Amino acid sequence: MTTLSSNLAQEFESIRRQALQNAWPVYQLFGLKMSSDYPFGSRLTQAQGEMELVFTCQETAPIAMAWNELEPVYTSIYRTKNNEPAWFLYQIEEYYVVHYTDSIDFYICRQTIIGHILNLELKDAYTMGILPTVLALWLEFQGIPCLHASAVVVNDHAIAFLADSGQGKSTLTTAFLQAGFPLLTDDKLPLDEKDGGIWARSGTPLIRFFPEVAEMLVDDHQELDLILPGFSKRIAHIEHDAQGHFCPVPMPLACIYILERNGMEDAKQKITFHLLPQREAVMELIRYDFTTRINAVLGFSVARLGFYSKMAASIPVKRLSYPTGYDCLPEVRNAILKDLDGLT
């Protein structure tokens, strides 16, 4: 074991010991029971039982690393304002480090995640904005697939919406919340195979909005926190900041819709559903896996292919084409509910 790896092992053990000795609160998110001393407050659902993961966010300097001497296993395709990669993933023996340029580092092992803030003025924004992404990575490291998707609960089943960022996942989810259907997760959807089916894990009671969408659910939407400094999206707590309900338990997955909004010039086009053949469905699921590129680098792709092949054989994956415009959302929601008749 290298000196660096040994130092990381000692830090992880120290944090886990503190969590046990000081009886840190336990929260439920992404199907996990996570013990943490971070002041989540009412933003996360509290849980009972033995912790599966420990998380803390330190204001002290992280273990010194000469980043320019380490070779990242993955470099983010997204760029900062200075045109630098937004983050890097490093692997140090059995440990991982997610290094966000000039903002925060996350040190990851099987039982513990430690955040080290590099900009203390933005501690809360970085922690709440980035932690869900890091948890999705952690799940993938444990062999739990995570789709870039939002999901709601209809008739005790999960209905998932897949789309690229900014293409309407949270907007359509909002339309379901307005009609009384609970939120299961926003943006990241972990999946399990159990009881002969595919189950969707519950995420967090938080939903991210573009300003014009936030106005639909929140009276004082301008008072909501920005998801990250410099971003226009805001974050709301369902049941505290916004209308709606949250489902804290996993649900069997009934159907997946890949969203395809028409352009404004096609606003009168009908709402259409197209069931994808199994082979095409598998390719779409792989494309929308939250860490597809990282899976390829770390050698997880074969396992994911097997999982999504089995999933596509039992869960309908449909392409949903619908008109652009907030006034069309109730009609789209009703069309989905009609499409689900007899399915759930």
Is the pLDDT reported for residue 19 higher than 70?
Answer: yes
Question: Per residue in 71-97, pLDDT tens?
Answer: 999 998 888 778 888 889 999 889 999
Domain ranges in the chain with CATH number 3.40.50: 146-339
Between 261 and 252, the higher pLDDT residue:
252
Q: Residues 219-228: what's their mean pLDDT?
A: 61
**Can you give the pLDDT at residue 295?**
85
Q: What residue type is 341 in one-letter code?
A: D
Which band of pLDDT confidence, cut at 50, 70 and 90, is reported for residue 273? very high
Residue 67 — very low, low, confident or very high, per pLDDT cuts 50/70/90? confident
CATH of region 146-339: 3.40.50
Higher pLDDT, 103 or 109: 109
Structure tokens at 181: 């259907």
Cβ-based neighbours of 119, under 8 Å, separated by 6 or more: 102, 103, 104, 126
pLDDT of residue 254: 97
Query: Higher-confidence residue: 207 or 138?
Result: 138
- Single pTM value for the model: 0.88
Alpha-carbon distance 25 to 139, whole Å? 21
Measured distance CA(36)–CA(188) in Å, rounded: 21
Question: Higher confidence at residue 231 or residue 13?
Answer: 13
Among 60-74, 78-92, 179-193, name the one with the lowest average pLDDT: 60-74
Pairwise CA distance, residues 134 & 114, whole Å: 11
Chain center to CA of 39: 20
Q: State which H helix or E strand residue 183 sits in.
A: strand 183-185
- Stretch 285-297: mean pLDDT: 88
Mean pLDDT for the stretch of residues 157-177: 88
Give per-residue pLDDT as tens, 305-343: 999 999 999 999 999 999 888 788 899 999 999 999 977
* Calpha distance 286→191 (Å, rounded): 13
**pLDDT computed for residue 241 by the predictor:** 63
Identify which of 55-59, 65-69, 263-267 has the greatest average pLDDT. Answer: 55-59
| The pLDDT of residue 226 | 57
Please say if the pLDDT value at position 245 is more than 70. Answer: yes
pLDDT at 50: 86
Query: What percent of the chain shows pLDDT beyond 90?
Result: 47
- Average per-residue pLDDT in the chain? 86
The answer on pLDDT for 200 being more than 80 is: yes
pLDDT at 344 exceeding the cut of 70? no
pLDDT of res. 222: 60
**Is pLDDT at 184 greater than 90 in this prediction?**
yes
| Res. 230: pLDDT tops 70 | no
- Residue 201, by phi and psi: left (phi above 0), alpha (psi -120 to 50) or beta? beta
Residue 220's contacts (CB-CB under 8 Å, 6 or more residues apart) are none
Least confident of 81-85, 109-113, 120-124: 120-124
